[in-house]
């Protein structure tokens, strides 16, 4: 069985205020077997960036559960990656996304 690796860019050059958020479009997992990881790179013009990564799932692509119903993928990039919070950092994908949309 051959394995194919695809890149899905969800947010590119998204400017966000220090107290704001950015929401990506839904990633339809029926087009893939699984998501192995999420690569994140964030930067800040005022000090080191600190990003919280959350997700919501849906079985129909319209009705999503609350972000707080799922564990954060990364509660703080500054704490989780203290040596390089603004570099390319890899976050493991949650196991339950295989059956839903992210």
Residue 1 has pLDDT above 50, yes or no: no
The pTM of this model reads 0.73
Neighbours of 5 (CB within 10 A): 6
Q: How far apart are CA 8 and CA 38, in angstroms?
A: 10
Residue 4 has pLDDT above 70, yes or no: no
Neighbours of 55 (CB within 10 A): 22
Residue 100 has pLDDT above 50, yes or no: no
For 47-94, the pLDDT digits (tens) are 888 888 888 888 787 888 898 988 898 999 999 999 998 889 998 877
Phi, psi of 62 (to 5 degrees): -120, -50
Phi-psi region at 55: left, alpha or beta (left = phi > 0; alpha = psi -120 to 50) = beta
For 32-59, the pLDDT digits (tens) are 666 778 888 888 888 888 888 888 888 7
């Amino acid at each position: 069985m051959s394995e194919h690796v695809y890149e899905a860019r969800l947010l590119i050059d998204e400017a966000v205020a220090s107290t704001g958020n950015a929401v990506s479009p839904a990633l339809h997992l029926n087009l893939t077997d699984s998501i192995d990881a999420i690569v994140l790179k964030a930067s800040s013009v005022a000090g080191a960036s600190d990003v919280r990564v959350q997700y919501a799932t849906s079985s129909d692509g319209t009705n999503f559960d609350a972000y707080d119903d799922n564990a954060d993928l990364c509660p703080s990039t500054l704490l989780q990656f203290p040596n390089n919070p603004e570099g390319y950092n890899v976050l493991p994908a949650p196991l339950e996304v295989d059956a839903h949309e992210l």
